[in-house]
Amino acid sequence: MKKITVLFFVLTLTLAACAPSATVTPVAENAVASPSAVIAEGRLVPAQEATLAFQARGTVVDVSVKIGDVVKAGDVLARLGGESDAAFAAAQLELVSAQQSYDDFVRNAPSYSAQAWQAYMTAQSQRAAAERRWEGLSLDNIETRIASAEDEVQNRLDDLTEAQAKFDEYKDLPEADSRRQNAESNLETAQEDYNEALRKVDSITRERDSVRVALDAALTAEAEAKRVYENSLNGPDREKLALVDARLTAAKANASAFAIVAPFDGTVMDVNISLGDQVGPETWVVKIADTSAWYVETTDLTELEVVKIALGQIVSLVPDALPDSNMTGVVESIGQAFVLQGGDVLYRVKIKVDEIDPRALWGMTIEVTFEPVQ
């Protein structure tokens, strides 16, 4: 609920005909807001916060933190055990191996670049040799020989057709008949001659095509070697780095299923488990917050009010629970999306607190006063 703090004087005069007058000392409260000030309600929030839960199911065997502990990103805060021990050990082993592979790959990037250069030089030499073999061919001679061989194929096909027709004349005769036997023998010979003519065409064609294929393969290998080398010039090869990074990411995700790991530097704000508890993904375990900076996020700033707010505007902040506190802040962001609530169009404004009152707690209701920008 919005509040307007006013400066007022309480003066009580007791008049009595027979008694002396009594004087009451004026009492001053917080400075009154100007009539054009915008007053809103907000919540105190840390710079970052996370509510963490296990991604696997099991028995809690380790709780390494308590409320108020300061932790670093990567610290293990709690761990599952029991039947999960073997799986957790395997996940940790894979994580160590994946991290080692990633570190080795990044560290050895210069040597990879040298190896890539050597591979590129070798590919260039192989391509040059393949080009020389191709250029050494007498393509006209090969084409002439292919044409001649193809003519020979056609001649042998004609012979085969004629032999087949001759055999068809005598195929119904007894197998012992000499005419049938001669026709069958001639047909077999014609078929062999035809097959040999086809093989000769293939052989001559391969003289050309095998060299061409070798050259194409060498050109492709050279292009790939060049690509790998150029990718290694500005640090680790991006494609290989993506692979080792993907492995590391997967290993971290797998290990995190059995352990709660701090995602950033921060303070433990709450712990929801004890040793021996049976838990799963549905149970939150630890709440962590980055309290290196504090913010106030408004909850009821309307469309008529938000247009009066500007980035960088100085703001007065008073917690409802601490009326004697006088914090200030600066408008850091003004939400571009809206929320419809009770018929009102509301926008969120985020204010960075200059200096937090040590008594203030996460989630406290804050009265926010936006004085007009001069």
Whether 222 maps to a domain, the answer reads yes
The average confidence (pLDDT) of the chain is: 87
Q: Read off the pLDDT of residues 107-145 as tens digits, 9 standing for 90 and up.
A: 877 787 888 899 999 999 999 999 999 999 999 999 999
Structural domain tally of the chain?
A: 2
Whether 170 maps to a domain, the answer reads yes
Q: Is 90 exceeded by the pLDDT of residue 192?
A: yes
Whether 113 maps to a domain, the answer reads yes
Both 71 and 92 in a single domain?
no
The stretch 269-297 carries a mean pLDDT of 94
Both 44 and 158 in a single domain?
no
Q: Is 60 exceeded by the pLDDT of residue 146?
A: yes
User: Phi and psi at residue 67, in whole multiples of 5°?
Assistant: -60, 130
Give the pLDDT score at 81.
78
The stretch 269-288 carries a mean pLDDT of 94
> What's the start-to-end Cα distance of the chain, in Å?
27
- Of 257, 291, 317, the position where a domain reaches its end is 257
Give the pLDDT score at 30.
53
Both 338 and 195 in a single domain?
no
- 1-5, 237-241, 286-290 — most confident range: 286-290
Both 221 and 269 in a single domain?
no
Both 334 and 246 in a single domain?
no
- Of 257, 292, 319, the position where a domain reaches its end is 257
Both 307 and 350 in a single domain?
yes
Whether 22 maps to a domain, the answer reads no
Counting residues of the chain whose pLDDT is more than 70, the rounded percentage is 89
Q: Is 80 exceeded by the pLDDT of residue 373?
A: no
Using 50, 70 and 90 to split pLDDT, how confident is the model at 23? very low
Question: Cβ(256)–Cβ(271) under 8 Å?
Answer: no
Both 105 and 244 in a single domain?
yes
Using 50, 70 and 90 to split pLDDT, how confident is the model at 2? very low
| Residue range(s) defining the domain that contains residue 354 | 38-75+262-370
Give the largest Cα separation in the chain, rounded.
168
Q: Is 50 exceeded by the pLDDT of residue 24?
A: no
Both 57 and 127 in a single domain?
no
Both 207 and 273 in a single domain?
no
Give the pLDDT score at 26.
40
Using 50, 70 and 90 to split pLDDT, how confident is the model at 238? confident
Both 164 and 200 in a single domain?
yes
> What does the alpha-carbon distance between residue 155 and residue 145 come to, in Å, rounded to a whole number?
15
The stretch 291-318 carries a mean pLDDT of 95
Beta bridge partners of 294: 46
Alpha helices of the chain — where are they, by DSSP H? 85-107, 109-135, 139-170, 178-231, 238-256, 303-306
- 94-108, 172-186, 247-261 — most confident range: 172-186
- Of 227, 257, 287, the position where a domain reaches its end is 257
Comparing 57 with 202, which gets the higher pLDDT?
Answer: 202
Place of tokens 């065409």: 201
Q: 19-23, 54-58, 135-139, 196-200: which has the minimum mean pLDDT? A: 19-23
- CATH number of the domain to which 290 belongs: 2.40.30.170
Buried b (16+ CB within 10 A) or exposed e, 18-57: eeeeeeeeeeeebeebeeeebbbbbebbbeeeeebebbbb
Both 225 and 103 in a single domain?
yes
Using 50, 70 and 90 to split pLDDT, how confident is the model at 16? very low
Question: Cβ(333)–Cβ(313) under 8 Å?
Answer: no
Both 119 and 245 in a single domain?
yes
Give the pLDDT score at 84.
62
Instruction: Tell me which amino acid residue 373 is.
Output: V
Whether 28 maps to a domain, the answer reads no
The stretch 287-312 carries a mean pLDDT of 95
Whether 174 maps to a domain, the answer reads yes
